[in-house]
Amino acid sequence: MLHPIESRTIRPVAAAPQPAPSPSHDEDNPWHTGAACCRDEAGLFFAPSKEPTAARLAREEQAKRVCARCPVLLECREHALVQPEPYGVWGGLTAAERRVVLARRRRRDVELREAARVPAARRIAG
Ligand code: SF4
């Protein structure tokens, strides 16, 4: 999927307050229609090649500030985690931060499976 900034029409950064998005999103009303980011901010969300670390950190912080005021942050973040989207800031998380979240989810899933198996094994043994 295109990043929300690429899939929407241009909207000024300082746009008038928008109505709250519908809590349900469907084919006619996809979640990214409520995105706070806009095309003229595209450079904030994706790294140019050979970007120095200090510049990258500053750019990512700016992108995260846009995400922080976004009404569809959670939908965007979950989309980027589930795909997974390998590049750019989505839902207030960098690609590296998403990898950490995914690793934690995998660990949690393993622990939950293990926890579910242990009592079953004890019932069989007991
Ligand atoms: S959370 Fe960030 S990247 Fe996602 S739609 Fe909102 S502003 Fe854009």
4 close to 38: Cβ distance less than 8 angstroms: no
Check residues 87 and 14 and name the one with the higher pLDDT.
87
- Residue to probe by mutation, ligand 1, list 6, 72, 75, 97, most atoms within 8 Å of CB: 72
Does any ligand 1 atom lie closer than 6 A to the CB of residue 72?
Answer: yes
Q: Whose CA is nearest to atom 2 of ligand 1?
A: 67
Closest listed residue to residue 81, CA positions, set 91, 71, 68, 70: 91
Q: Is 93 in the pocket of ligand 1 (CB under 6 A)?
A: no
**Could you tell me which of 78, 126, 121 has the C-alpha nearest to residue 102?**
78
Listed as own residue / partner, the contacts of 112-117 with beta carbons closer than 8 Å and 24 or more positions apart are: none
For the whole model, what pTM was predicted? 0.77
pLDDT in tens, 51-110: 999 999 999 999 999 999 999 999 999 999 999 999 999 999 999 999 999 999 999 999
